[in-house]
Amino acid sequence: MSVAEVKETKTNLKAWIDQLSDVNMLNMLEGVRILNADKTSWNDLSEYQKENINAGLDDIKNGRVMSSEEFWQQLKNG
């Protein structure tokens, strides 16, 4: 991914997060953020956050994924 693509992806993600109202999605994203913070481990997460992360990983393992392009198209179309 080029520097320009990374910048665009960050901008798109920020805009998407700003309009999110799905509490489950927000909690899952918060769990990912916490895991990426310094000195944070899996054990520091709440059970709810762990469940959301595991559900996302399960989706990936079972092919329940979509491309970035599909995601943004669905977001635009509601």
Per-residue confidence of the chain (78 residues) as pLDDT tens digits? 899 999 999 999 999 999 988 888 888 888 888 777 766 678 888 898 889 889 988 988 898 888 878 888 887 886
Alpha-carbon distance of 66 to 56, in angstroms, equals: 12
Give the 3-state DSSP-derived string for 19-51, with helices as H, strands as E and coil as C: HCCCHHHHHHHHHHHHHHCCCCCHHHCCHHHHH
pTM here is: 0.48
